[in-house]
């Protein structure tokens, strides 16, 4: 049997969203989108961070005035934690002709849509908003049904209440096969929105998330080479942490903290492997440690300080960063700082900027016995003055 949901990558989904937004150009409305997939696969992240950027660009292009992603509010309702009454609003009793009847109160989510920001001391309501029904497949049938009118362009509401203008409705959930407490999405939702299954896309993950969010370059190198083995496609039968894009991001922060402390000496200590395993599981943590210890071509800090022009430079970006940050943690003299900058200027362009600026921050807070007089610093500042002025 073929997969019941069209399978898309982040790149596919980006183009689908752009086209969906342009439906308004021919007099039609945005059609709500539902996204299913494995836990930690980037579904919620897409709607929280990528969709606002796409919509802001679309609005800026079509409205004639600049709209920023921060101008768009994100309202997240986790359906797995709600029942139907909480979604549509509890019934309020009142007396009519001597008989007590109930009328639905205003849904809480509509009250959340009245939020705004204080700009120059003035409260400014949000004009644009994204309503994200999160964990929708974890909801009971009646809770899912309570959201169905919001997925319908004709009803465009919750219970008896209409959604405000300029509201995009989206939903996320795990697949029933993921064993994450999820159920099948009810037919009335699927029949009203566009529904897809999100597949992992390593190029999109690296270009659209990892690099813009400054993930540890070693982790990026590892994911590019080993994502098929490191990431699960569904929740494993055995309990415990496992590799997903989300868990890999958290492990990346732990690895980056270790490297910036200058503790790396060619091997990963057992405590760090255990910390990595706390996010990605023992098997993936062992793969990552093997990758680091097998592939690193890092000169020591002493080698960089003594011969920065000829010290080895790894072909992998992550290990270029490791060599420089390890040496940076050991800089104690002006000559060492200048030697390290000489080495940094041999690395990949983006690392020249980030590591050079980081080195400048460090030496500005340290009193060296000798002044830094090398013309190399002036050359660096002239080349990257925009970034050094922001440091």
The share of the chain scoring above pLDDT 70, in percent, equals: 87
- 147 and 11 in a single domain? The answer is yes
Specify whether the CB–CB gap between 60 and 201 falls below 8 A: no
Q: Is position 1 within any domain?
A: no
Rounded to whole angstroms, the Cα distance separating 185 from 147 reads: 11
Backbone angles phi, psi at 264, to 5 degrees: -75, 130
The share of the chain scoring above pLDDT 90, in percent, equals: 27
Rounded to whole angstroms, the Cα distance separating 79 from 137 reads: 8
For 73, the enclosing helix (H) or strand (E) is strand 72-78
- 242 and 358 in a single domain? The answer is no
Residue 57: pLDDT above 90?
A: yes
Indicate the pLDDT class of residue 72, thresholds 50, 70 and 90: very high
Give the mean pLDDT of the chain: 84
Backbone angles phi, psi at 194, to 5 degrees: -95, 130
Q: Is position 132 within any domain?
A: yes
Q: Is position 69 within any domain?
A: yes
Rounded to whole angstroms, the Cα distance separating 219 from 250 reads: 11
- 49 and 180 in a single domain? The answer is yes
pLDDT at position 96, please? 65
- 260 and 284 in a single domain? The answer is yes
Other Cβ atoms less than 10 A from the Cβ of 134: the count is: 20
Could you give the number of structural domains in the chain? 3
Rounded to whole angstroms, the Cα distance separating 266 from 301 reads: 12
- 102 and 245 in a single domain? The answer is no
SS (H, E, C) 212-227: CCCCCHHHHHHHHHHH
Rounded to whole angstroms, the Cα distance separating 248 from 238 reads: 19
Q: Which DSSP category does 300 fall into?
A: P
Residue 69: pLDDT above 90?
A: yes
- 24 and 141 in a single domain? The answer is yes
**Those residues with Cβ within 8 angstroms of residue 4's Cβ, 6 or more apart along the chain or in another chain:** none
Residue 336: pLDDT above 60?
A: yes
Other Cβ atoms less than 10 A from the Cβ of 272: the count is: 20
Mark which of 295, 321, 342 sits at the end of a domain.
Answer: 295
Mark which of 150, 173, 199 sits at the end of a domain.
Answer: 199
Residue 390: pLDDT above 50?
A: no
Q: How buried is residue 165: exposed, middle or buried, by Cβ count under 10 Å (0-12/13-18/19+)?
A: exposed
Other Cβ atoms less than 10 A from the Cβ of 81: the count is: 12
* Better-predicted residue by pLDDT, 171 or 370: 171
- 179 and 325 in a single domain? The answer is no
Residue 54: pLDDT above 90?
A: yes
Indicate the pLDDT class of residue 17, thresholds 50, 70 and 90: very high
Could you tell me the pTM of the whole model? 0.73
**Those residues with Cβ within 8 angstroms of residue 306's Cβ, 6 or more apart along the chain or in another chain:** 339
- 262 and 362 in a single domain? The answer is no
- 291 and 341 in a single domain? The answer is no
Backbone angles phi, psi at 314, to 5 degrees: -65, 150
pLDDT at position 156, please? 86
Q: Is position 285 within any domain?
A: yes
Q: Is position 314 within any domain?
A: yes
**Rounded average pLDDT over 194-216:** 82
Rounded to whole angstroms, the Cα distance separating 48 from 29 reads: 21
User: pLDDT, tens digit, for every residue of 232-273?
Assistant: 766 666 778 888 888 888 999 999 899 888 788 778 999 999
Specify whether the CB–CB gap between 216 and 288 falls below 8 A: no
Radius of gyration in angstroms for the set of CA atoms belonging to the chain, rounded to a whole number: 26
Residue 178: pLDDT above 70?
A: no
* Better-predicted residue by pLDDT, 75 or 24: 75
Mark which of 262, 278, 295 sits at the end of a domain.
Answer: 295
- 185 and 208 in a single domain? The answer is no
- Which residues partner with 78 through β-bridges? 134
pLDDT at position 290, please? 92
Rounded to whole angstroms, the Cα distance separating 390 from 356 reads: 13
- 84 and 158 in a single domain? The answer is yes
C-alpha 163, offset from chain centre: 27
Q: Which CATH number characterizes residue 76's domain?
A: 3.40.50.300
User: pLDDT, tens digit, for every residue of 79-134?
Assistant: 877 777 778 766 666 666 667 666 667 788 888 888 888 888 899 899 999 999 99
**Rounded average pLDDT over 58-64:** 90
Closest CA to 68 of 88, 54, 84, 82: 54
Indicate the pLDDT class of residue 1, thresholds 50, 70 and 90: very low
Helix 349-364 with 334-344: angle, nearest 10 deg? 170
Other Cβ atoms less than 10 A from the Cβ of 203: the count is: 11
Q: Apex CA 193: angle with CA 187 and CA 199, to 5°? A: 95
3-class state of residue 330 by DSSP: coil
**Rounded average pLDDT over 315-331:** 85
Residue 200: pLDDT above 50?
A: yes
H-only helix segments in the chain? 10-21, 43-45, 51-63, 84-88, 108-112, 141-147, 187-190, 202-205, 217-230, 245-260, 270-280, 282-295, 301-306, 317-328, 334-344, 349-364, 375-383, 385-390
**Structural domain of residue 228, as residue ranges?**
203-295
* Better-predicted residue by pLDDT, 250 or 357: 250
- 72 and 92 in a single domain? The answer is yes
Rounded to whole angstroms, the Cα distance separating 194 from 178 reads: 21
């Amino acid at each position: 049997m073929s997969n019941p949901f069209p399978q898309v990558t982040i790149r596919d989904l980006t183009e689908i969203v752009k086209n969906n937004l342009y439906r308004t150009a021919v007099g039609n409305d945005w059609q709500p989108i539902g996204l299913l997939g494995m836990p930690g696969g980037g579904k919620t992240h897409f709607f929280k961070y990528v969709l606002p950027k796409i919509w802001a660009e679309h609005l800026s292009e079509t409205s004639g005035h600049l709209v920023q992603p921060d101008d768009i509010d994100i309202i997240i309702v986790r359906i797995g934690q709600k029942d139907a009454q909480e979604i549509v609003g509890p019934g309020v009793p009142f007396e009519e002709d001597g008989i007590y009847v109930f009328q639905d109160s205003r849904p809480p989510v509509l009250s959340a849509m009245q939020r705004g920001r204080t700009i120059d001391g003035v409260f400014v309501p949000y004009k644009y908003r994204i309503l994200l029904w999160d964990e929708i497949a974890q909801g009971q049938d009646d809770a899912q049904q309570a959201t169905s009118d919001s997925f319908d362009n004709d009803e465009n509401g919750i219970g008896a209440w209409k959604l405000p203008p300029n509201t995009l409705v989206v939903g996320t959930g795990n697949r029933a096969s993921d064993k994450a407490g999820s159920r099948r999405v009810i037919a009335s939702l699927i029949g009203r929105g566009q529904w897809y299954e999100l597949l992992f896309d390593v190029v999109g993950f690296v270009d659209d998330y990892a690099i813009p969010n400054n993930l540890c370059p070693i982790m990026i190198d590892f994911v590019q080479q080993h994502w098929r083995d490191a990431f699960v496609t569904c929740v494993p039968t055995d309990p415990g942490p496992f590799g997903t894009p989300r868990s890999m991001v958290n492990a990346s922060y732990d690895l980056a903290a270790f490297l910036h402390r200058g503790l790396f000496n060619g091997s990963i200590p057992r405590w760090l492997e255990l910390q990595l395993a706390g996010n990605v599981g023992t098997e993936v943590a062992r793969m990552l440690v093997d990758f680091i210890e097998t592939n690193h071509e890092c000169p020591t800090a002493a080698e960089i300080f003594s011969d920065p022009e000829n010290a080895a430079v790894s072909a992998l970006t992550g290990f270029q960063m490791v060599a420089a940050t390890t040496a940076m943690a050991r800089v104690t003299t002006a000559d060492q700082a200048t030697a390290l900058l000489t080495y940094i200027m041999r690395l990949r362009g983006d690392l020249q900027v980030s590591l050079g600026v980081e080195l400048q921050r460090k030496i500005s807070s340290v009193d060296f016995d000798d002044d830094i007089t090398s013309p190399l610093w002036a050359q660096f500042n002239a080349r990257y003055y925009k970034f050094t002025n922001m440091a």
